Amino acid sequence: MLLNPNQPNRNNVQGLILRGYTHPCSCHLLFTFTGGNNFNSKAFFSDLYPKLQSAADWGNNKPASMLNIGLTYNGLSLLKVISPSDLTYFPSTFQNGPSDPGSQDSLGDVGESSPEKWWNNQGNAVNNKLHCVVHVYGMTSNDLDELVSQVTASATKNGLVEILPLAIKDNGGRLYQSIVQHDPAKIHFGYTDGISEPSMNANPSGNTSAETNNNFVIGYPKGSTSDPGPTGVDTASRFAKDGCYNAFRIIYQDVAAFNLFLKQSANNPEVKKKLSHLNLTEAETEEWLAAKLCGRWRNGSPLMLSPDKPEASTASAEDFMYGSSSGIAGADDDVPSSLKCPFSAHTRVANPRDQLLSGSEGTNGPPRIARRGMPYGADLKNGATTDDGVDRGLIGIFLCGNLAGQFEKLYSWMNFNNFSGKKIFNPRKPPQDALLGTRDLHSTIFPNITNTFTIPVSGTSAAESIVLTMPSFLTTRGTAYCLLPSILSIAKLAGIKKPKLSSQWG
- How distant is the alpha carbon of residue 40 from its chain centre? 32
Give, in order, the Cα–Cα distances in Å from 210 to each of 312, 353, 361, 363. 28, 11, 14, 11
The SS3 call for residue 264 is helix
Structural domain contains residue 291: yes
User: Residue 335's pLDDT is what?
Assistant: 63
Q: What is the rounded CA–CA span in Å between residue 124 and residue 194?
A: 32
Structural domain contains residue 224: no
Q: What is the rounded CA–CA span in Å between residue 262 and residue 452?
A: 14
Please confirm whether the linkage preceding 230 is cis (ω < 30° from 0): yes
Structural domain contains residue 335: yes
Mean pLDDT by 10 residues, the chain (506 residues): 66 93 96 87 97 93 96 96 96 98 95 95 93 98 98 97 88 93 93 85 67 89 89 95 97 98 97 93 97 98 96 94 55 68 94 85 84 94 92 96 96 91 75 92 77 83 82 96 97 88 46
Q: What is the rounded CA–CA span in Å between residue 285 and residue 126?
A: 44
Structural domain contains residue 307: yes
Structural domain contains residue 228: no
User: Residue 460's pLDDT is what?
Assistant: 54
Print the domain residue range for 442: 8-200+233-506
Tell me the HSE value of 41 on the side-chain side, using a 13 A CA sphere: 21
User: Residue 323's pLDDT is what?
Assistant: 76
User: Residue 3's pLDDT is what?
Assistant: 45
The SS3 call for residue 51 is helix
Taken as a whole, the chain contains a residue count of: 506
User: Residue 328's pLDDT is what?
Assistant: 39
The SS3 call for residue 92 is helix
Q: Is 190 left (phi over 0), alpha (psi -120 to 50) or beta?
A: left
Q: What is the rounded CA–CA span in Å between residue 248 and residue 245?
A: 9
Q: Which residues of 241-259 are buried (b: 16+ CB within 10 A; e: fewer)?
A: bbbbbbbbbbbbbbbbbbb
Structural domain contains residue 37: yes
Model pTM score: 0.94
Q: What is the rounded CA–CA span in Å between residue 410 and residue 419?
A: 10
Q: Which long-range contacts (CB under 8 A, 24 or more apart) does 456-465 make?
A: 456/335, 456/338, 456/339, 456/342, 457/274, 457/275, 457/339, 458/339, 460/335, 464/274, 465/274
Do the beta carbons of residue 468 and residue 79 sit within 8 Å? Answer: no
3-state helix, strand, coil in the chain (%, to 5): 35, 15, 50
Do the beta carbons of residue 396 and residue 177 sit within 8 Å? Answer: no
Domain count, the chain: 1
Structural domain contains residue 174: yes
User: Residue 327's pLDDT is what?
Assistant: 41
Phi, psi of 478 (to 5 degrees): 170, 155
Q: What is the rounded CA–CA span in Å between residue 85 and residue 93?
A: 17
Structural domain contains residue 218: no
Do the beta carbons of residue 279 and residue 268 sit within 8 Å? Answer: no
Distinct helix (H) and strand (E) counts, the chain: 17, 12
